[in-house]
């Protein structure tokens, strides 16, 4: 009996040693082909895991991080900067760096954020959209901490921003120092809003104001019976004009003063202005946040669960601010060709017509194969065309919930593959499943040029 006890103890010790050295055998299986690593939930870190998986599906953002981090040369610099830590994680999650692990640990991101004085607990529920703004603002702070004095060899690049390292030469035996241009680069999510105000009395337009944004936070308009709510409805509600009362109009005051002969002082004329928002600069990567929070009559928070329809492609031309003035015939033709993009109400829509293309429309006319876009709906290709790269959903209510992500994974634009990711769990998903999700966040990436997105023969002919 004693020998059996010794053998049993030895076997238990051997099993414990194997577990310590190599971990559980079930966790050592290789990741299935076509899938990406999951992320370990460190308590309540699904908000961080889902955001990282979505950011890894944005090639423009990863390329920007690669260019931005070239300024850091020593290992000490690499370990203390958010951009470097974020790039290392995204490269692995996007399979640009090979790993055999099924599940990764992203606690290093929380550590570097704490070094930047952000107190984010891994055991408290947080919001993915708020973390997105924490990352973008921290990256901007990191960029602003860099010296603004231009390098001696970089003076010429102020007049020619497209200059490359190979075009610069000097008579020296040593190697040419690297040209640093990171200080004038913005991350791909950076955009600008325009605020335009016009007096309803004299039609005088105040100077246009510009404000920066990293994401568009859209409220969901009240649903109309029998009509689905689309992303166009949310965007149109965002830029819809509003009246602002009791605003001092300098032009009305000036006109009133010109009618007084004795030069008597007059009071400032207050009138009603019409205010409208537009997109002055559209970013390369567009983040759209759908506001799911509402309030009951008793003042308690409620979560809105209704589905907002969105498409694989997004056309933003009609939401772009255009400088007023004489337009060429070509520009007039383009604006005219895009007028049906607005989500008009049934009463406002001309009889016998229907929108040619609508962001979020589910008409059978546009039930295309994945990766195709109906160019025939336009007299010319849209200038601001975006493609869906990631979708976030929240499961639960206002008090407790969970984030899951649908990221796109593709090496070729025409062969986008979709995944469903919830922390450590990763599986394949279809485009139909993605578009049917109740989205909380949407990532779109701009498609440049007609040749960069495929079109089926039925629409291009």
* Sign of CA pseudo-dihedral 437, 440, 441, 444: positive
Residue with tokens 């899951």: 404
The residues pairing with 386 across neighbouring beta strands, listed in sequence order, are 314, 446
**Residue 168: partners with Cβ closer than 8 Å, 6 or more residues away:** 153, 156, 176, 179
Tokens representing residue 368 in the block? 């295309």
175 in Cβ contact with 97 (< 8 Å):
no
Catalytic residue among 307, 402, 432, 455: 402
Catalytic residue among 46, 58, 199, 287: 46
User: What's the 3-state SS for the chain?
Assistant: CHHHHHHHHHHHHHHHHHHHHHCCHHHHCCCCCCCCCEECCCCCCHHHHHHHHHHCCCHHHHHHHHHHHHHCCCHHHHHCCHHHHHHHHHHHHCCCCCCCCCEECCHHHHHHHHHCCCCCCCCCCCCHHHHHHHHHHHHHHHHHCCCCCCCHHHCHHHCCCCCCHHHCCCCCCCCCCCCCCHHHCCCCCCEEEEEEEEECCCCCECCCEEEEECCEEECCCCCECCECCEHHHHHHHHHCCEEEEEEECHHHHHHHHHCCCCCCCCCCCEEEEEEEEEEEECCCEEEEEECCEEECCCCCEEECCCCCECCCEEECHHHECCCCCCCCHHHHHHHHHCHHHCCCCCCCCCCCCCCCCCCCCCCHHHCCCCCCCCHHHCCCCCCCEEEEEEEEEEEECCCCEEEEEEEEECCCHHHCEEEEEECCEEEEECHHHHHCCCCCEEEEEEECCHHHCCCCHHHHC
- In the residue annotation, 58 being an active-site residue is answered as no
- In the residue annotation, 285 being an active-site residue is answered as no
Q: Which of the residues are catalytic?
A: 46, 402
């Amino acid at each position: 009996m004693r020998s059996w006890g010794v053998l049993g103890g030895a076997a238990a010790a051997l099993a414990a040693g194997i577990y310590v050295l190599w971990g559980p055998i079930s966790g050592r299986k290789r990741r299935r082909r076509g899938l990406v690593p999951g992320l370990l939930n460190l308590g309540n870190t699904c908000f961080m895991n889902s955001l990282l998986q979505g950011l890894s599906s944005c090639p423009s953002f990863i390329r920007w991080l690669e260019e931005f981090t070239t300024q850091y040369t020593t290992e000490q610099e690499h370990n203390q900067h958010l951009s470097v830590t974020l790039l290392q994680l995204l490269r692995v999650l996007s399979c640009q760096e090979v790993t055999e692990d099924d599940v990764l640990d992203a606690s290093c991101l929380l550590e570097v954020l704490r070094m930047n004085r952000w107190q984010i607990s891994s055991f408290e529920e947080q919001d993915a959209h708020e973390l997105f703004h924490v990352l973008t603002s921290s990256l901007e702070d990191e960029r602003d901490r860099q010296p603004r004095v231009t390098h001696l060899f970089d003076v010429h690049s102020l007049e020619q921003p497209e200059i490359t390292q190979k075009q610069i030469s000097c008579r020296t035996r040593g190697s040419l120092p690297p040209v640093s241009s990171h200080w004038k680069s913005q991350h791909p999510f950076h955009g600008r809003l325009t605020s335009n105000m016009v007096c309803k009395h004299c039609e005088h337009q105040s100077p246009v104001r510009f404000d920066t944004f990293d994401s568009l936070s859209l409220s969901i308009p009240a649903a109309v019976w029998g009509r689905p709510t689309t992303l166009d409805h949310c965007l149109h509600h965002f830029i819809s004009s509003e009246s602002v009362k009791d605003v001092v109009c300098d032009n009305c005051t000036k006109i009133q003063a010109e009618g007084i002969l004795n030069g008597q002082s007059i009071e400032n004329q207050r009138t009603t202005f019409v205010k409208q928002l537009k997109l002055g600069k559209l970013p390369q990567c567009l983040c759209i946040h759908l506001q799911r929070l509402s309030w009951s009559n008793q003042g308690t928070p409620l979560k809105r669960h209704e589905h907002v329809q969105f498409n694989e492609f997004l056309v933003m031309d009609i939401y772009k601010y255009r400088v007023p003035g004489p337009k060429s015939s070509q520009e007039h033709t383009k604006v005219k060709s895009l007028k049906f993009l607005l989500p008009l109400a049934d009463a406002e829509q001309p009889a016998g017509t229907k929108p040619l293309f609508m962001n979020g429309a589910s008409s059978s006319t546009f039930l295309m194969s994945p990766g195709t876009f109906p160019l025939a709906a336009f007299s010319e290709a849209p200038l601001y065309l975006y493609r869906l790269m990631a979708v976030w959903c929240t499961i639960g209510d206002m008090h407790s919930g969970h984030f899951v992500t649908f990221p796109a994974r593709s090496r070729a634009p025409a062969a986008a593959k979709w995944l469903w990711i919830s922390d450590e769990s990763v599986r394949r998903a279809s485009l139909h499943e993605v578009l049917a999700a109740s989205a909380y966040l949407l990532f779109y990436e701009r498609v440049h040029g007609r040749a960069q997105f495929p079109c089926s023969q039925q629409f291009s002919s």
